[in-house]
A and B are shown apart, each in its own frame.
Chain A
Amino acid sequence: MAKMKGTIVVNTERCKGCSLCVVACPLDIIALADKRVNRRGYRYVEQTNPEACTGCTSCAIVCPDGCITVYRKRVES
Chain B
Amino acid sequence: MENIVSPENLVYQKPTLLNDTDMHYCPGCSHGVVHKLIAEVIEEMGMEEKAIGVSPVGCAVFAYKYIDIDWQEAAHGRAPAIATAIKRLWPDRLVFTYQGDGDLACIGTAETIHALNRGENIAIIFINNAIYGMTGGQMAPTTLMGMKTATCPYGRQADLHGYPLKITELAAQLEGTCYVTRQSVHSVAAIRKAKRAIRQAFENSVNRRGSSLVEIVSTCSSGWKKTPVEANAWMEEHMFDFYHVGDLKTVES
Q: Are B191 and A62 in contact (CB under 8 A)?
A: yes
Chain B interfacial positions (CB closer than 8 Å to A): 1, 3-6, 9-15, 18, 20, 22-23, 25-33, 36, 187-188, 191-192, 221, 227-229, 232
Residue of A whose beta carbon sits closest to that of B25? A64
Contact of A19 among B23, B29, B228 (CB under 8 A): B228
Q: Are B5 and A9 in contact (CB under 8 A)?
A: yes
| Known pairs A18-B28, A18-B228; A64 contacts B12 (CB<8 A) | no
A1-30 CB contact bits vs B (8 Å, 1 = yes)? 000011101010010111110111000000
Chain A interfacial positions (CB closer than 8 Å to B): 5-7, 9, 11, 14, 16-20, 22-24, 40, 42, 50-51, 55, 57-58, 60-73
> Distance in Å from the Cβ of B204 to the closest Cβ of chain A?
24
| Known pairs A6-B4, A40-B22, A66-B14; A17 contacts B9 (CB<8 A) | no
Residue of B whose beta carbon sits closest to that of A17? B27
Q: Which residues of A contact B29 (CB under 8 A)?
A: 64
Q: Are B32 and A60 in contact (CB under 8 A)?
A: no
> Distance in Å from the Cβ of B215 to the closest Cβ of chain A?
18
> Distance in Å from the Cβ of B253 to the closest Cβ of chain A?
31
CA distance A53 to B232 in the complex (A): 24
| Known pairs A17-B27, A18-B228, A71-B11; A64 contacts B5 (CB<8 A) | no
CA distance A65 to B31 in the complex (A): 9
CA distance A62 to B194 in the complex (A): 12
> Distance in Å from the Cβ of B157 to the closest Cβ of chain A?
32
Q: Are B229 and A23 in contact (CB under 8 A)?
A: yes
Q: Are A66 and B36 in contact (CB under 8 A)?
A: yes
| A5, A24, A64: residue with the most chain B Cβ atoms closer than 10 Å | A64
Q: Are B27 and A69 in contact (CB under 8 A)?
A: no
Q: Which residues of A contact B36 (CB under 8 A)?
A: 63-64, 66
Q: Are B14 and A69 in contact (CB under 8 A)?
A: yes
Q: Which residues of B contact A65 (CB under 8 A)?
A: 23, 25, 32
Q: Are A64 and B31 in contact (CB under 8 A)?
A: yes
| Known pairs A58-B188, A69-B10, A71-B11; A64 contacts B4 (CB<8 A) | no
Q: Are A18 and B27 in contact (CB under 8 A)?
A: yes
Contact of B12 among A17, A22, A57, A73 (CB under 8 A): A57
Q: Are A71 and B188 in contact (CB under 8 A)?
A: no
Q: Are B12 and A69 in contact (CB under 8 A)?
A: yes
Q: Which residues of A contact B187 (CB under 8 A)?
A: 24, 62
Contact of A55 among B11, B30, B31, B221 (CB under 8 A): B11
Q: Are A5 and B27 in contact (CB under 8 A)?
A: no
Which 10 pairs of residues, A with B, have the shortest CB-CB distance?
A: A64-B32, A66-B14, A18-B28, A16-B27, A18-B27, A70-B12, A71-B9, A18-B228, A60-B12, A57-B12
Q: Are B4 and A61 in contact (CB under 8 A)?
A: no
Q: Are A57 and B28 in contact (CB under 8 A)?
A: no
Q: Are B5 and A24 in contact (CB under 8 A)?
A: no
Q: Which residues of B contact A57 (CB under 8 A)?
A: 11-12
Q: Which residues of B contact A71 (CB under 8 A)?
A: 4-6, 9-11
CA distance A6 to B10 in the complex (A): 10
CA distance A51 to B4 in the complex (A): 11
